[in-house]
A and B are shown apart, each in its own frame.
Chain A
Amino acid sequence: AQTVTQSQPEMSVQEAETVTLSCTYDTSENNYYLFWYKQPPSRQMILVIRQEAYKQQNATENRFSVNFQKAAKSFSLKISDSQLGDTAMYFCAFIHEGNSGGSNYKLTFGKGTLLTVNP
């Protein structure tokens, strides 16, 4: 079964600075997708960024970028120019491309990292 590990339960950063959240995962499959979701205090789950495993280029969405290291099974999220509105729980998530490895199309989440942006 696939697992997703976020080793940093909590992190803090000063406004306008850069922070990196780490995520590692475990799978024996070759085709899969990785996601970072944000959950602010409002509780809404918001997709921040996604990465296709077959793409070597790291995904970027404005101030958010990832460092995808397929061999190391690592998928970190970098937030540049942190803003107060970035304060949230961040979840790394993984899903196989299809019904492979007995995954049954299951999106698996890490335990989350609580990021606080300080003024």
Chain B
Amino acid sequence: DTAVSQTPKYLVTQMGNDKSIKCEQNLGHDTMYWYKQDSKKFLKIMFSYNNKELIINETVPNRFSPKSPDKAHLNLHINSLELGDSAVYFCASSLGLAGYNEQFFGPGTRLTVL
């Protein structure tokens, strides 16, 4: 009974390629997020969506485009991959936007750009 799932778990690709990471939650939550964890383990929010509406876009390059086809899914598409995009990307979800709502994290996708 996976609550927040991501595919793939590992992604190795060449510079310049375009790739997507998919995220699905079966918790019935309204809010979903993408976080980036860099090589020093620093975790930072990239995007959040509430009821399919973009709420947070944290100065992420335009090459990153999130898409939320419905409340249960938030996919991340990355164009023209660069070496600096190598990181672990976490999807998360919560009941709503308010701070008291616990965020549940997916298992992460380790992206390696060669």
- Could you list which residues of chain A lie within 8 angstroms of chain B, going by C-beta atoms? 31-33, 39, 42-47, 50, 52, 89, 91, 95-99, 104-109, 111-112
Question: Would you call B105 and A45 a contact (CB within 8 A)?
Answer: yes
A-B contact count (CB 8 A): 59
Interface 0/1 of B86-99, CB less than 8 Å to A = 00101010000111
Of the candidate stretches B19-27, B41-49, B65-73, B75-83, the one touching chain A is B41-49
Q: By the criterion of a CB under 8 Å from any partner CB, how many residues of chain B are at the interface?
A: 24
Question: Which residues of B sit under 8 angstroms from A52, Cβ to Cβ?
Answer: 100
- Give the contacting residue for B98; candidates A91, A97, A106; CB below 8 A: A97
**Closest B residue by C-beta to A91:** B43
Question: A31: which B residues are within 8 A, CB to CB?
Answer: 99
Let me know if B43 and A109 touch, CB within 8 A.
yes
Docked pose: A108 CA to B99 CA in angstroms: 11
Give every chain B residue within 8 A of A106 (Cβ-Cβ).
45, 48, 56, 58
Q: Nearest CB to that of B99 among chain A residues?
A: A95
Are B100 and A33 within 8 A (Cβ)?
A: yes
Q: Knowing A91-B43, A95-B99, A111-B40 are in contact, say whether A43-B55 is a contact too (CB < 8 A).
A: no
Q: Is the CB of B56 within 8 A of A104?
A: yes
Q: Are B55 and A104 closer than 8 Å at their CB atoms?
A: yes
Minimum C-beta distance from A101 to chain B (A): 12
Minimum CB–CB distance for A113 against chain B, Å? 10
